[in-house]
Amino acid sequence: MKGIIKGLITVTKHMFRKPVTVQYPEEPIPWHTKRFRGRVILNLDSCIGCTLCAQICPNHADHMVHYEYENGKNWRKIYPAVDIGVCTYCGLCQEICPTGSIRLSNEFELAHFDRDMDYLPDRLSRTETELKYHD
């Protein structure tokens, strides 16, 4: 009986503590860091089309596609496209990229009205905020 009452007291003590839940869309997440690994973002101007990111990607989410964009260094005109549906945000593409043109931003609100998960280079090069504005 003593243990039961002790447990009841422990539980009742919590009545006077503040709730720890965060009302997410209204309140900002207090612990969100700059280091957070969110959606992949591509810098079209510095990409040299070396395909290293597509090779290291463990889920083959990152794949190379042909895209008409001239930046002087990418003579084959192939750029990475990322299927966000299978991307695991592991950050290996960011690690291996020799020019630093593919990196992980800290955006994580990826909901859209269409179901097109495959981010082609054009879409990949813009941030989510820009895309939302575009929609």
Partner 1 sequence: MEERIIDVNFGPQHPSTHGVLRVKVKLNGETIVNAEPIIGYLHRNAEKLSEDKFYPSVAIFMDRLDYVSNHNMELGYVLAVEKLAEVQVPERANWIRMMVVELNRIASHLVWAGTMGLDLGMITPFFYTFREREKIIQLFEMLSGARLTYNYISIGGVYKDIPGEFKDKFLEFYNEFPKRLDEIQSLFMENEIFIQRMKGIGYLSPEKAMSYSITGPVLRASGIKYDIRKNFPYLYYDKVDFEIPTAKDGDNFSRFIVRMEEMRQSLKIAKQAFDKMPEGEYFNPLYRKQGLIKIKGKGESYSRTESPRGEFGVYVIGDGTSKPYRVRIRSPAFHALSATNEMVKGSKIADMIATLSTLDPVFGEVDR
Partner 2 sequence: MNTIIWLINFILKAIGINFAVYGYYGQLIQTVLVDLIGALLIFLAAAITIIIVIYIFRKYMADLQQRIGPNRVGPYGIFQLIADALKMFGKEDIIPDNTDPLLFRFAPYLVFIPLILSYLLIPYGSLYHWLIIFTNVKVTLLLVLAFSAMVPIGEIIAGFSSGSKYSLLGGIRAAAQDLSYEIPMVLSLVGVIIVSSSLNLYTISSNTIPFAILEPIGFFIFFIAMIAKIAVPPLDLPESESELVSGFNIEYSGLRFGIFYLGVFGNIFFASLFISTVYLGGGSDLPWISGLGYIWLLIKAFIFMFIFLTLWIALPRIRVDKFMNIGWRVLLPLSIINLIWSVGIAALMSGVI
For binding to partner 2 (CB under 8 A), which residues are involved?
4, 7-8, 10-12, 14-15, 17-21, 23
Q: What is the spatial distance between Cα 48 and Cα 98, in angstroms, rounded to a whole number? A: 9
- Determine if 15 is a binding residue for partner 1 (CB under 8 A): no
Residue 25 or residue 72: which is nearer to partner 2 going by CB?
Answer: 25
Task: Note whether 39 and 105 are within 8 A (CB).
Answer: yes
Q: Which two tokens stand for residue 21?
A: 């839940």
Q: How many CA atoms lie within 13 A of 56 on its CB side?
A: 15
> Please, what is the minimum distance in Å from the beta carbon of residue 5 to partner 2?
10
- Determine if 37 is a binding residue for partner 1 (CB under 8 A): yes
Q: What is the spatial distance between Cα 89 and Cα 41, in angstroms, rounded to a whole number? A: 11
Residues of this chain, 78-117, that bind partner 1 according to CB under 8 A: 88-92, 95-96, 98, 104, 106
Q: Which of 43, 44, 51, 56 binds partner 1 (CB under 8 A)?
A: 56
Cα-only R_g, the chain: 22
Neighbouring CB atoms inside 10 A of 99's CB total 12
Which residues lie near partner 1 (CB under 8 A)?
1-4, 6-7, 10-11, 14, 20, 31, 33, 35-37, 52, 55-59, 88-92, 95-96, 98, 104, 106
